Amino acid sequence: MENPWKFIKLSDYESHMALGTVMQLQVLNRIMKKQLDIYPVQSAMVLGVAGGNGLEHLKIENYTKVYGIDINADYLQEVEKRYQNLFPVLECICLDVALEGAKLPTAELLIANLFIEYIGYACFQKTVTHIKPTYISCTIQMNADGTFVSDSPYLQVFDDLDSIHQTIETEVLIQSMQEIGYQQIALMEYVLPNGKKLVKVDFVNRFFIRSAEKTNT
């Protein structure tokens, strides 16, 4: 079975996420602004970039390369239309991270918002080890009612995601990152109108911390 994200229209996805009862598009936009601004890096990668929500906050003078990764080629075509001013700093790459993660380039900052749910802990660990970021900033969704897709007129569009969706728990994610050498450095929760929460967790490579400590001694 092919990945369902290949067949979900971007207009349906963004319309659902922007509904007043959902508000995830708006909240994720604010999160992305923080993610792109906070760390002293020159390269970044956004896994599951979709239509590029939040990329308008990218200050290209601060970056030499930003990769937008997605499995849906139509999404990436829209990113290229919307953000022509960001090229050539912004580079879009179409691939299935679950199957082709080893092909990804390296980047100092890895952003993964509402993405880990579709590849799982182990695959995310492998992906991180290929990308070798200094910093990771990821957002996961906590579901108060046990459902991961909020009720909306677009609900049926997402039916097939059940086949690949996995529940991600904050503590388990933190533990899985510790196993591959990443230490949690930040955690912030965003409460949504329907009672769900987005949880942003940031990590830093422990080797980077030790190297910085040696440099300062």
Span 137-184, pLDDT tens digits: 999 999 866 667 777 888 889 999 999 999 999 999 999 999 999 999
Residues 6+ apart with CB under 8 A from 144: 195, 196, 197
**Radius of gyration for the alpha carbons in the chain, expressed in angstroms and rounded:** 17
Looking at the DSSP bridge assignments, the partners of residue 69 are 47, 93
Question: Is the pTM higher than 0.75?
Answer: yes
Using a 10 angstrom Cβ sphere, with 0-12 exposed, 13-18 middle and 19 or more buried, the burial of residue 21 is: exposed
* pLDDT, tens only, 34-76: 999 999 999 999 999 999 999 999 999 999 999 999 999 999 9
Share of the chain above pLDDT 90, in %: 85
Confidence (pLDDT) at 153 = 84
3-state secondary structure of 197: strand
Sheet containing 65-70, strands listed edge to edge, beginning at the edge strand earlier in sequence: 90-94, 65-70, 43-47, 109-113, 135-142, 197-205, 182-191
CA distance linking residue 20 with residue 3, whole number of Å: 28
185-189 long-range contacts (CB < 8 A, ≥24 apart) are 186/137, 189/142
